[in-house]
């Protein structure tokens, strides 16, 4: 049965819109943001061009929070380690991909890079799509700085209980990216259980809004990765 010309025209007209919508939410296509985001991005570029960088943290608002709720913990653990915080609130994998290709990793060879990104993708992307974005970020760092050891953290748990939809999406992504661990250049570590109670609920004294960390949460983060991170920084 032949489609009517009107229906065919409707389908043809609709396809670009669908593709545009899908493209907008792609976890892989590098895109910048605007406003204060660009200002912070450029400040990163300036910082990495000014001196020795041994350690970088790459991520979103949870990583940026090392400058807020986690400030004293950062100073305690990383203040004398030539560490740079490359976290920007609201970032998704596609934004980090753009940043890494536009100066945030230019001409530096950190001993270690800590990556924790993807939770902001969990509303629009599947576990596989998030994993693809994270995989791209790992490959970028490997290509730009082959000597850098990557500590790839599982996306932290979010939401009140184990039934939270976005937590499940993140867990699916974690299961996929855990396979990137090669025991040599990329080291996967899931510290998520350290934030949770025995019944897998997320306490508000650790994540007050069930997403972002309190000072106690940042202390758990730092203590949970210290043994592995210290080893990577020595290699």
Does residue 117 belong to any structural domain of this protein?
Answer: yes
Q: Is 212 a catalytic residue?
A: yes
Does residue 23 belong to any structural domain of this protein?
Answer: no
Q: Is 61 a catalytic residue?
A: yes
Among 127, 212, 214, 224, the active-site one is 212
Query: SS3 for 63?
Result: helix
Does residue 8 belong to any structural domain of this protein?
Answer: no
Query: What is the reported pLDDT for 138?
Result: 98
pLDDT tens for residues 40-70?
Answer: 999 999 999 998 999 999 999 999 999 999 9
pLDDT for residue 6 is more than 70:
no
pLDDT for residue 2 is more than 90:
no
> How far is the C-alpha of 63 from the C-alpha of 200, rounded, in Å?
23
pTM across the whole model: 0.90
Residue 23 CB coordination number (10 Å): 11
Residues making up the chain, counted from first to last: 235
pLDDT tens for residues 159-202?
Answer: 999 999 999 999 999 999 999 999 999 999 999 999 999 999 99
Q: Is 41 a catalytic residue?
A: no
Does residue 84 belong to any structural domain of this protein?
Answer: yes
Give, as one character, the DSSP assignment of residue 67.
Answer: G
Query: What is the reported pLDDT for 24?
Result: 67
Domain that holds residue 215: 32-234
Question: Mean pLDDT across the chain, nearest whole number?
Answer: 92
Does residue 134 belong to any structural domain of this protein?
Answer: yes
Among 163, 198, 199, 209, the active-site one is 209
Q: Which residue has the higher pLDDT, 13 or 198?
A: 198
Q: Give me the mean pLDDT over the 108-114 stretch.
A: 98
Query: SS3 for 61?
Result: helix
Task: Check which CATH number belongs to the domain holding 121 and give it.
Answer: 3.40.50.1110
Predicted confidence band of residue 32 (pLDDT cuts 50, 70, 90): very high
Q: For the chain, what is the domain count? A: 1
Does residue 27 belong to any structural domain of this protein?
Answer: no
pLDDT for residue 19 is more than 60:
no
Residue at token pair 């576990």 = 127
Among 25, 61, 126, 178, the active-site one is 61
Does residue 22 belong to any structural domain of this protein?
Answer: no
Does residue 152 belong to any structural domain of this protein?
Answer: yes
């Amino acid at each position: 049965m032949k489609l009517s010309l009107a229906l065919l025209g409707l389908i043809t007209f609709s396809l670009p819109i669908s593709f545009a919508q899908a493209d907008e939410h792609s976890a892989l296509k590098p895109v910048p943001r605007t406003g204060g985001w660009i200002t912070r991005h450029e400040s990163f570029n300036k910082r990495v061009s000014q001196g020795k960088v041994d350690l970088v943290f790459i991520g979103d608002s949870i990583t940026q929070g090392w400058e807020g709720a986690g400030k004293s913990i950062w100073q305690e653990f990383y203040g004398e380690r030539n560490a740079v915080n490359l976290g920007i609130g609201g970032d998704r994998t596609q934004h980090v991909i753009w940043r890494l290709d536009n100066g945030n990793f230019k001409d530096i060879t950190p001993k270690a890079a800590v990556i924790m990104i993807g939770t902001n993708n969990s509303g629009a992307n599947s576990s596989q799509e998030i994993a693809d974005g994270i995989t791209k970020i790992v490959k970028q760092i490997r290509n730009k700085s082959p000597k850098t050891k990557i500590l790839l953290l599982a996306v932290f748990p979010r939401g009140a209980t184990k039934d939270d939809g976005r937590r499940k999406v993140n867990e699916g992504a974690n299961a996929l990216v855990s396979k990137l661990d090669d025991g040599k250049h990329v080291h996967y570590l899931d510290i998520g259980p350290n934030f949770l109670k025995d019944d897998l609920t997320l306490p508000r004294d650790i994540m007050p809004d069930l997403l972002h960390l309190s000072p106690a949460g940042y202390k758990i983060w730092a203590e949970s990765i210290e043994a592995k991170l210290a080893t990577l920084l020595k290699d």
